[in-house]
Amino acid sequence: MNQDLLEQIVKHVFSNLMVIPSIYINVDKSKSLMEKEYLLPDNIPFDVEGGATVNNRVWGCQISADQQEVKMLLGDCTEDPNFPEYALIVHLKDSPAYGVYIVNNLKDSNVNLDAMLAVTMDGTGWLECSTFLQSTFLAGMEQIRELGLGWHKCTNYQKEYDMLLSFINFHHDIFGEKE
């Protein structure tokens, strides 16, 4: 697997959703997935020092066209404000789901740590994507963006929420918890 290519794909996807900054995105013609209108009541719980639990935000949108439906859930996994972390689930109805993870280094925008793109058939068993699957996912995300379909706040997203939590655990199993 080409790690540099993976990091560029992950960075591109999060930039297009206006989750991380990019000089290539026209902010006047784009809308962030992190808009208040997409904020869901669910949270992602994280244990922090001292035994406390922090609940980070989750946003979700869906796009429907021709009896197809794509749902996207974005979870804020940030524990250190200098390194914002995000997990994204993209699920086309009746198809495998993709999970995308990024740790964005605010001090050096050319360095992304722990980038991951994975796929699941059942929402629990995750596999890191080969270069072929990475390119397939990227092509699908580009097609969604180019179609310019209207996003709506997610409904009936429990399956995707469970996938999001499962994917975050998979990522942490691979890269380990940050200390």
pLDDT tens series, the chain, 179 aa:
688 899 999 999 999 898 988 777 766 667 789 999 999 999 999 887 777 888 999 999 998 877 789 999 999 998 888 889 999 999 999 999 999 999 987 666 666 578 999 999 998 999 999 999 999 999 999 888 777 668 899 999 999 999 999 999 999 999 875 43
Nearest-angstrom CA–CA distance, 156 and 151: 15
The structure tokens listed for 88 are: 């994204």
Q: Select from 102, 141, 96, 100 the least CA-distant residue to 123.
A: 96
Provide the 10 A C-beta neighbour count for residue 74. 25
The DSSP secondary-structure symbol of 37 reads G
Query: Which pLDDT score is estimated for 178?
Result: 45
User: Is residue 65 within 8 Å of 146, Cβ to Cβ?
Assistant: no
Q: Select from 106, 126, 105 the least CA-distant residue to 116.
A: 126
User: Is residue 90 within 8 Å of 82, Cβ to Cβ?
Assistant: no
The DSSP secondary-structure symbol of 132 reads H
Query: Which pLDDT score is estimated for 148?
Result: 65
Buried b (16+ CB within 10 A) or exposed e, 142-162: eebeeeeeebeebeebeebbe
Query: Which pLDDT score is estimated for 109?
Result: 61
User: Is residue 101 within 8 Å of 83, Cβ to Cβ?
Assistant: no
Query: Which pLDDT score is estimated for 111?
Result: 61
Q: How far is CA 168 from CA 23, 70, 143, 146, 179, in A?
A: 28, 20, 26, 28, 16
Query: Which pLDDT score is estimated for 82?
Result: 82
Query: Which pLDDT score is estimated for 53?
Result: 85
Which is it for strands 39-47 and 53-65: parallel, antiparallel or unpaired?
Answer: antiparallel
